Structure 1
């Protein structure tokens, strides 16, 4: 596995790229200062950003292009772009490619079908074991198909992983449960349902595991009729056969395992062996990779922020060290004092945070620069949410937490 990878498929704003830049500077200054002088002594860290979808627009936008230039001035950072999506969008990335020809990669390796494949590049970088050793690749999907391209990206990633003889797992959460609806028949988009059925059939032929889980609470909320067969198995006539509608805890149990799990905006960051410990720790000794959830969207207008907190609580309950960081628009969950009638839905997110704060393995943080950019402040009642700047964010992302024996952590951007 490449030391640290980030997959970016969604729009990359100047604000997002700025905090990525700040974290990378912290990483290199604190952990690998020798690389700041372009000296390759000893261990050589590598940060690889995989860009596809709307994230590619950041390569030509003048504001984000300038920030990418700063990031790429760190000689051990590289970008791998999806050639097919560059062509689809008419994006050249020529300015950055000309300035950093060895770090900005706009061609892709050859996949199993003999064609260039960006997702084959992602799989090769994400592998935790060297071929032909067995392994697993997972994908967390929170958006519906057809409306969102991310479902297609997830299918492509898992298909490439299967071609590389990896077992595959798909976790459908929030609107992502729609990927498994029966009788999908889009006329102007990829048929994700048919793609998942074909993925499952290939896995059977290869004698490799293929598990597709959908959160039962999210499925029920969206009208998927289910019943229990009396032996603890939930059945639904609304879902294709490969999709198993299960309690969220069943899905979270897979996050206790040591394989790479990606999402439309996600990272897999390796801990430096023998590095200084972060300022937080798991309650009990754990081998599960920590989960860091970045909540970047405002509360209430969508289910995203609430779903992210619920997901974090489930991870922590399963014994996974879970850090939740409110940043970008997500800090509005913490500003002012929120009030809602007792019978009002959705719930008051601040009340939920206060109710679960203090739970084992669950830590809440807020990114101070996001408050400063918007001229707002965290409400004083939210004592359980600790504010942090770039040093604190850098320590969470790059320093191994105490009591955790995992070699990497998962970063999920909601």
Structure 2
């Protein structure tokens, strides 16, 4: 793998969820500065698919994209198949914002070499979310390019392992996994599928007991079920880590994670899931930042009278109990607070308010430090 220039790192951004004006604005804050002279190769590549493609035609986001692509070394690749399926071909062609292409170019570096290995974190159930179809397609692309793969199924993604799936309208995810796994076996490629033990147990896929082999009969064979602390090291050797919405900033040194939580604190399992993932990362001495953005900013509001106060179901209590300066730090975007009329007066030292200048300093520190910066959006 070629040594990265710490001042001009190669950055890949995969976006498949809805992109609001707010999201597009804060995304720019967690990217390397483009105010540099670059060579002919793009330094920042956006890969858009699924609902993210609507932002290429929406009047609120198009002007922001237009300003972004004026920066040196920025390009946008729009998934051609999704553009066709969603009727967006003409609209995107008129805007001139993106080039039509395939997401498999995610796995190709500036030097036209394939990445050496890939990690996949998946959070979504198989049929409720189209993210899973795209996840399966990217897995197939990686194996087709002879790239070793490691997968962590987390939260509702453990449902992918339920056997005897029968579908009529949608692609059968169980059969799709079978095909990709068989292709990797025939190619002699490492292909590791794992599932979070806590999530599997909560969803009824684990028999009570202490034996290692205690998965329910309906659970997919060949899946390694374990705690996050055992699974996370699989990603440490991966050149790129992919998620439905993610950013990979290539570096020469150790990995660091930024987990951006965008959903309300108590409406889904995502906020707690992100914090648990962050705690597991820090437990392996991997520096991690958890930043609450968009509706995640509601986490900043204290609830001292809640019946869950000082329990694991109280997010601020968990933050105060787990924050470790320099290893696991928490913050919230000031722009997301102001967008929701939340006053930044919560005096919790472990819960920082990140202004654009603060984020710029953090990103500069991480990038010039040569870290592989892996941003996962929850």
**Given the two structures, how large is their TM-score scaled by the length of structure 1?**
0.82
Q: Aligned pair 1:79/2:72, yes or no? A: no
Corresponding pairs, count: 371
Q: For 1:260-290, what per-residue CA distance to the aligned partner results, in whole angstroms no more than 9, with x for missing partners?
A: 111110010124x7xxxxxxxxxxxxx5410
Which of 58, 61, 85 matches 1:64? 61
Give the alignment of 1:317-328 within 5 angstroms: 317-328=283-294
CA contact (8 A) 1:168 1:211 kept: yes
Cα contact 2:57–2:95 (8 A) shared by 1? no
Post-superposition offset of 1:359: 6.5
Q: Deviations over 1:232-277 (max 9, x none)?
A: 4554322111322111112212132242111110010124x7xxxx
User: Superposition RMSD on alpha carbons, in Å?
Assistant: 2.7
Taking a change above 3 Å as real, the CA distance of residues 234 and 130 of structure 1, as seen in their structure-2 partners, is farther
Shift of 1:164: 0.5
2:236 and 2:119 map into 1 onto residues whose CA distance is 12
1:104 aligns with 2:89: no
Instruction: Write the mapping of 1:132-171 to structure 2, written as runs, cut at 5 A.
Output: 135-171=116-152
Q: For the residues of structure 2 that align with 1:234 and 1:361, how far apart are their CA atoms?
A: 34
Alignment check: 8 A CA contact 1:139 1:263 kept? yes
Corresponding residue of 2:6 = none
- C-alpha deviation, 1:367, in angstroms: 0.9
1:128/1:322 CA distance change after superposition, 3 Å: farther
* TM-aligned CA deviation for residue 339 of structure 1: 3.4
Residue 11 of structure 1: aligned partner: 18
Note if contact 1:122-1:157 (Cα within 8 Å) is conserved in structure 2: no
Secondary structure, aligned partner of 1:27: coil
Q: Secondary structure at the match of 1:386?
A: strand
Instruction: Using the TM superposition, give the Cα deviation of residue 229 of structure 1 relative to its aligned residue in structure 2, in angstroms.
Output: 8.0
**Tell me, what secondary structure is at the counterpart of 1:138?**
strand
Identify which of 31, 34, 41 aligns with 1:28.
34
Is the partner of 2:224 in helix, strand or coil? strand
Structure 2 SS opposite 1:10: coil
Structure 1 unaligned blocks of 5 or more? 109-117, 274-286
Q: Per-residue displacement from partner, 1:195-233 (whole Å, max 9, x unpaired)? A: 112211111111111111110101111111336685x45
Q: CA deviation at 1:128?
A: 9.8
**Cα distance in 2 for residues equivalent to 1:413 and 1:213:** 20
- Alpha-carbon separation, structure 1, partners of 2:157 and 2:264: 19
Q: Does 1:305 align with 2:271?
A: yes
Give the number of the structure with larger relative contact order, counting CA–CA contacts within 8 Å between residues 6 or more apart.
2
Q: Distance in 2 between matches of 1:393 and 1:321?
A: 16
1:241 matched to 2:221? The reply is yes
